[in-house]
Chain A
């Protein structure tokens, strides 16, 4: 565009003045040449008329036709002469030649002496006056004397000669002049244009080269340079641009270097764990993804290990996070030393590590894992004069063509690790499909999904079972609300099937919330309308997780406060393990809810082998003897003794005792003998849907 712009301007600069001058000059020259041609014809015609007129004098004066014809014939040979006629003084034609149709001589027009002319569009007519030539015959003029013979006055004009000239050749000449002029003009203009174009190109070439380089630089090709060949302003410009480009390039390179470094740092940070410097979970998963691909494509075998530190929580809880972090750092350093080049060790989160052994047989993998385990076992962590021995549980899964997706592999490794922990920790467990522990683990995982689905689809149900007092005076009603899940086929599922999974995967607060909310909704009317003396106590199971969850507690309190008086109709059953696991928290929970009138029962007492001392510290109202002792007590002395002992101690600390799992008349009889306060079991009352109880009112 620049090239065209400047070159066009240069071209205009060369052409416009040249064109103006040329056009004016050529126009003027042509006009004058045309005029000259016309004038030349006029001049020639006048000259011929002037010459011919005297020549005709003799012929006219003597009336000699022959002389005139001869004269006219020779004159006719002159170019452009179309016709000639000789007129006598009275206007009659004396002689003629050529094709002209002469009318009588226009004496009025041509009167007078000399030469006159008439212009016609295609021709030109000249009239020359034929004058008598006077010649002196006397040596001197003798005057006076009438007898002295004076020549009688004679008319000097004796006729005219008329010449008609054709203008055809003049016009042709004029046309030729115009054509030639135009040719010259065009040639001149073309030469001017060529010169202008050439000059323009000389000017534009460096500019074009500059602009090309500037454009390239603009596009980012900083290595581009102008060919510096000029010495003048262009040279300065070229060198300037080259200098600028060089500086720009060096700055760009420095900047790029910094960017590269920063990018590398970012990339490192994105793929590595900041604490240990090991690969992070994301990077580990992508490497695992590649390993899986290579297995599928090339049939390679790799090993994936999921490692979880044993006793890490103890160190973290007793010595603080700093100690935990330091432990992880030191351990990472040790484990790195055990790595082969192609292996990947990653920190997957908390105290969990991942190890990917690429192109490794199961045997080698187990050997490497064992080295890792041994290395961790050898390591003793020292912190503030204390020395901790730690271990690691390793779940291993082989990555083969059939091993499935990354998620499957991680899940399998995790499960294997879980098994290793379950089997006593600080050991390696290789994942196998038939593994029963793993199957259970898998079952739990499946239950999680089912529970969530049931909650979403409202497929959980509440049933109630009477807790019957054995004392004759006790007329109050006491029931326990039990949870059922309805599967997709409509079958009821007992809670022992899905509650362990819910407990392991932290679903219990959600389930407890559902239970309380549904209890309140379904029995709202019932609970409200009953008089205080005719009330029914609803036993609701609470999980340890819910007990520990402050948010759950707050929500429950605010919900109960919305319904005053409702609290005294509720009895929360907490398990021994849940209460003892967090004694202070459990006590706090119990105290706060007691203020709202709620009662508490210690559930499954005896199964956790807990100390009786807790019975003193926990402010509960009922003690539910674990069904495992009650079920067979009619036949088993030990169980009967256990039940008796628990009942006695419960009574001693002021609690009312409840026996579960009463399945037979014998059991009931024994319990009556012992003096248990309440009994509960399918023999006495099979659980029924809650709606039946609530609709009884």
Chain B
């Protein structure tokens, strides 16, 4: 993945400007084709990966110009741009002040950001906007739990108070899976281990949610060691978590997010009149399992392909 990204890694800004001009010229000769401006938060690996996925998703139908968050002033001089795809929060925020008429697809943004401010920022000047979240829908995660650990009925969750708004949604969705949520909210000055142990004592498994107050580089080891002590498996949200000790993780790679963003862009541009779909979770995802952890905990876990297959069968439910 990193190798692919490197082909398009052109850090020099003048090159970018050149590409932009070339794209504008091309637009002049092909009226039916639209121009999609992809704004990257940074000219770095995950963002370029998304860019590449967008390029391949769009193909030759439309022209794609690449911008970096700092260079969004170009958007003023390129009025022919039909659609902006921002990659990452920084990129999304950088396009807020330019050309409100151009609709924006904010890809690779946390759902929490979009809900709590991102969406309203993008709506400045009646701009149409949508988002492809970084997060996975609870239903998908619950389905995974059911596929991987059918017997698990008590799902533990530790969230910081900032993220505790998600609990109600999770609980409501869990009901349909006959799963009860054991939750602890981490207050200020409260020790994570104590809350964690409280949850683990009553849970069959722990659902990790992207909450940096809880799961970060410093706490991960302690959390995993504690869950092992309680022999409670963890369902994670990234491949890194699987590697770090989670039993199984479900996540969308930048390419999958890019691919889905490209699909939304194509659908939008093909309508003639531009109409954006609502913000949504990425359609494509991956599953990774840690067999060592499974063995350690004595869990009989289906392999990744089986899990993914079963999960896709039920994709319509998300």
Give bound CA distance, A139 to B215, whole Å.
Answer: 13
Q: Tell whether A135 pairs with B217 under 8 Å between CB atoms, given A61-B222, A143-B88.
A: yes
Q: Tell whether A136 pairs with B225 under 8 Å between CB atoms, given A144-B69, A147-B110, A151-B217.
A: no
A58's partner among B117, B212, B225, B245 (CB-CB below 8 A) is B225
Task: Return A209 CB to nearest CB of chain B, in Å.
Answer: 88
Taking a contact as CB atoms under 8 Å apart, the answer to whether B222 and A62 are in contact is: yes
Taking a contact as CB atoms under 8 Å apart, the answer to whether A151 and B212 are in contact is: yes
Closest to A154 in B: B218
B253 in the interface (beta carbon within 8 A)? yes
* Per-position binary interface string of chain A over residues 120-157, scored 1 when its CB falls under 8 Å from any chain B CB and 0 otherwise: 00000000000011111111111111011111101000
A137's partner among B69, B93, B191, B244 (CB-CB below 8 A) is B244
Give bound CA distance, A5 to B80, whole Å.
Answer: 117
B251's partner among A57, A134, A139, A142 (CB-CB below 8 A) is A139
Give bound CA distance, A143 to B41, whole Å.
Answer: 8
Q: B residues within 8 A CB of A148?
A: 89, 110, 113
Closest to A149 in B: B212
Give bound CA distance, A147 to B88, whole Å.
Answer: 12
Taking a contact as CB atoms under 8 Å apart, the answer to whether B193 and A62 are in contact is: yes
Give bound CA distance, A148 to B89, whole Å.
Answer: 8
Q: Tell whether A145 pairs with B113 under 8 Å between CB atoms, given A133-B221, A139-B238.
A: yes
- Name B175-212 residues within 8 Å CB distance of A: 191, 193, 210-212
A350 in the interface (beta carbon within 8 A)? no
Taking a contact as CB atoms under 8 Å apart, the answer to whether B240 and A139 are in contact is: yes
Task: Return A140 CB to nearest CB of chain B, in Å.
Answer: 4
B254 in the interface (beta carbon within 8 A)? yes
Q: B residues within 8 A CB of A139?
A: 46, 238-240, 251, 253
Task: Return B50 CB to nearest CB of chain A, in Å.
Answer: 10
B241's partner among A57, A137, A141, A144 (CB-CB below 8 A) is A137
A63 in the interface (beta carbon within 8 A)? yes
The dominant DSSP class at the B interface is: helix
Closest to B286 in A: A139
Closest to B116 in A: A147
Q: A residues within 8 A CB of B218?
A: 132, 134, 151, 154
Taking a contact as CB atoms under 8 Å apart, the answer to whether B254 and A140 are in contact is: yes
By size class, the interface of chain A is 20 to 34
Taking a contact as CB atoms under 8 Å apart, the answer to whether B117 and A142 are in contact is: no
Taking a contact as CB atoms under 8 Å apart, the answer to whether B244 and A135 are in contact is: yes
Q: A residues within 8 A CB of B93?
A: 144-145
Taking a contact as CB atoms under 8 Å apart, the answer to whether B193 and A61 are in contact is: yes
Give bound CA distance, A614 to B284, whole Å.
Answer: 203
Give bound CA distance, A143 to B193, whole Å.
Answer: 28
- Name B260-280 residues within 8 Å CB distance of A: none
Most buried by A among B108, B222, B243: B222
Taking a contact as CB atoms under 8 Å apart, the answer to whether A137 and B216 are in contact is: yes
Give bound CA distance, A152 to B239, whole Å.
Answer: 22
Q: A residues within 8 A CB of B217?
A: 134-137, 151
Taking a contact as CB atoms under 8 Å apart, the answer to whether A143 and B215 are in contact is: no
Q: B residues within 8 A CB of A149?
A: 110, 162, 210-213
* Interchain pairs with CB closer than 8 A, number: 102
Give bound CA distance, A143 to B217, whole Å.
Answer: 15
Give bound CA distance, A136 to B212, whole Å.
Answer: 12
Taking a contact as CB atoms under 8 Å apart, the answer to whether B42 and A136 are in contact is: no
Q: B residues within 8 A CB of A147?
A: 89, 110, 112-113, 116-118
B17 in the interface (beta carbon within 8 A)? no
Give bound CA distance, A143 to B221, whole Å.
Answer: 23
Give bound CA distance, A140 to B134, whole Å.
Answer: 11
B226 in the interface (beta carbon within 8 A)? yes
Give bound CA distance, A145 to B212, whole Å.
Answer: 14
Q: Tell whether A140 pairs with B222 under 8 Å between CB atoms, given A135-B244, A147-B89, A151-B216.
A: no
B33 in the interface (beta carbon within 8 A)? no
Task: Return A54 CB to nearest CB of chain B, in Å.
Answer: 10
Task: Return A159 CB to nearest CB of chain B, in Å.
Answer: 13
B19 in the interface (beta carbon within 8 A)? no
B45 in the interface (beta carbon within 8 A)? yes
Task: Return B150 CB to nearest CB of chain A, in Å.
Answer: 27
Give bound CA distance, A422 to B159, whole Å.
Answer: 182
B294 in the interface (beta carbon within 8 A)? no
B154 in the interface (beta carbon within 8 A)? no
Taking a contact as CB atoms under 8 Å apart, the answer to whether B193 and A145 are in contact is: no
Most buried by A among B116, B216, B241, B253: B216
Closest to B117 in A: A147
Give bound CA distance, A406 to B94, whole Å.
Answer: 168
Give bound CA distance, A284 to B247, whole Å.
Answer: 148
Give bound CA distance, A135 to B223, whole Å.
Answer: 11
B220 in the interface (beta carbon within 8 A)? yes
Task: Return A627 CB to nearest CB of chain B, in Å.
Answer: 179
Taking a contact as CB atoms under 8 Å apart, the answer to whether B88 and A142 are in contact is: yes
Q: A residues within 8 A CB of B193?
A: 61-63
Closest to B252 in A: A139
Closest to A133 in B: B221
* Per-position binary interface string of chain B over residues 95-122, scored 1 when its CB falls under 8 Å from any chain A CB and 0 otherwise: 0000000000000101011001110000
Q: B residues within 8 A CB of A152?
A: 212-213, 216
Task: Return A501 CB to nearest CB of chain B, in Å.
Answer: 159
B90 in the interface (beta carbon within 8 A)? yes
- Name B222-264 residues within 8 Å CB distance of A: 222, 224-226, 236, 238-241, 243-245, 251, 253-254
- Name A27-57 residues within 8 Å CB distance of B: 57
Give bound CA distance, A142 to B110, whole Å.
Answer: 10
Q: A residues within 8 A CB of B69?
A: 144
Most buried by A among B217, B218, B251: B218
Task: Return B257 CB to nearest CB of chain A, in Å.
Answer: 11
Task: Give A contacts to B, CB under 8 Å.
Answer: 57-58, 61-63, 132-145, 147-152, 154
Other than the known A137-B217, A144-B69, A152-B212, what 9 A-B pairs have Cβ atoms closer than 8 Å? A58-B225, A63-B193, A136-B243, A137-B236, A144-B41, A144-B88, A145-B88, A145-B113, A149-B110
10 contacts between A and B (CB under 8 A): A63-B193, A137-B220, A142-B110, A143-B90, A144-B41, A144-B69, A144-B88, A147-B113, A148-B113, A149-B110
Q: Which 8 A-B pairs have the closest CB atoms?
A: A144-B90, A151-B216, A145-B89, A149-B212, A140-B46, A135-B220, A134-B217, A154-B218
